């Protein structure tokens, strides 16, 4: 089998980055992600010649054979690693840079119905897109970005950023040293922003409950001290009044008896 140089490079990159790959020959013969690239390159060639019907027919054959749907009009750089591949959809005006990694179930979808306009995402170099992620519309994903599994991305993502969640939120931006997530395959090394927010809310709620308990204890102590003070200052006066009135009554009774 004679392969164009671009496909040889693709096969070598897949063998290099997939720990399950045993050899380049195994990639060429057995990997549906590589077969999808073969179908794409052929269909893209005829798409460039304006043989649109033939290009779409080849693309459909590739989809049924590999489970990966790549529109012939998409523009894909070298070294794309499609891991597993089932359920991947790459739209007509999508652009993918060099040495990217895409896992199964990823959608590079369009927004809007206008023809002859850019409707799909533009992916930079060395980008990792986790399984099930949805990137929709004419957005740009910067170089070395990391898109977490099942994330929904509707806006641009800066270079070196890690994005997770629905809708996608940036949880980390790498420093000066660029990290190639597509090669490191570290898409699981991220935190869910919703989980982080829930943890913060729980911590805040526990702190508030503790503060309320302290305030209740303080209020109880103040209330008891006030009651004791009121008893000590008011009740003795009432007792004196009671004693005085009792003496008057006795004196009155004595006077009456003397009179009688």
What gap in Å lies between CA 103 and CA 149, rounded to an integer?
9
- Picking from 160, 190, 220, the residue at the C-terminal end of a domain is 190
Domain count, the chain: 2
**pTM of the prediction?**
0.66
Please tell me whether residues 43 and 91 are part of one structural domain.
Answer: yes
Alpha helices in the chain (DSSP H): 5-17, 24-30, 32-48, 52-66, 181-184, 193-259
For residue 137, say if its preceding peptide bond is cis, omega within 30 degrees of 0.
Answer: no
Q: How confident is the model at residue 50 (pLDDT cuts 50, 70, 90)?
A: very high
Are the C-beta atoms of 126 and 110 separated by less than 8 Å?
A: no
Please tell me whether residues 258 and 183 are part of one structural domain.
Answer: no
Q: How confident is the model at residue 250 (pLDDT cuts 50, 70, 90)?
A: very low
Is the pLDDT at 58 greater than 60? The verdict is yes
Please tell me whether residues 23 and 106 are part of one structural domain.
Answer: yes
Please tell me whether residues 38 and 155 are part of one structural domain.
Answer: yes
Please tell me whether residues 118 and 198 are part of one structural domain.
Answer: no
Q: What is the pLDDT of residues 195-239, one digit of tens each?
A: 677 877 888 888 888 889 888 888 888 887 777 777 766 555 555
What gap in Å lies between CA 145 and CA 168, rounded to an integer?
13
Q: Which structural domain, as residue segments, surrounds residue 13?
A: 5-190
Question: How much of the chain, in percent, has pLDDT values that exceed 90?
Answer: 42
Q: What is the pLDDT of residues 87-114, one digit of tens each?
A: 999 999 999 999 999 999 999 998 877 7
């Amino acid at each position: 089998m004679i392969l164009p140089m671009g496909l040889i490079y693709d096969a070598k990159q897949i063998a290099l980055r997939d720990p399950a790959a045993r050899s380049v020959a195994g990639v060429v013969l057995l990997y549906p992600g590589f077969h999808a690239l073969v179908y794409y390159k052929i269909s893209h060639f005829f798409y460039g010649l304006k043989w649109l019907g033939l290009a779409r027919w080849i693309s459909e054959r590739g989809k049924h054979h590999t489970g990966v749907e790549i529109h012939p009009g998409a523009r894909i750089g070298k070294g794309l690693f499609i891991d597993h591949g089932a359920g991947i959809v790459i739209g007509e005006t999508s652009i993918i840079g060099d040495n990217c990694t895409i896992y199964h179930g990823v959608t590079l979808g369009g927004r809007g119905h206008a023809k002859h306009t850019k409707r799909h995402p533009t992916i930079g170099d060395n980008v990792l897109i986790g399984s099930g992620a949805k990137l929709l519309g004419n957005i740009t994903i910067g170089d070395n970005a990391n898109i977490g599994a099942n994330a929904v991305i509707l806006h641009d993502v800066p270079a070196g950023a890690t994005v997770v969640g629905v809708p996608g939120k940036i949880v980390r931006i790498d420093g000066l040293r660029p990290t190639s997530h597509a090669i490191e395959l570290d898409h699981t090394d991220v935190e869910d922003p919703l989980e982080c927010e829930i943890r913060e809310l729980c911590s805040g709620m526990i702190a508030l409950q503790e503060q309320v308990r302290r305030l209740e204890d303080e209020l109880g102590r103040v209330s008891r001290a006030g009651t004791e003070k009121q008893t000590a200052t008011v009740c003795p006066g009432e007792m004196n009044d009671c004693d005085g009135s009792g003496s008057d009554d006795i004196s009155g009774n004595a006077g009456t008896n003397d009179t009688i």
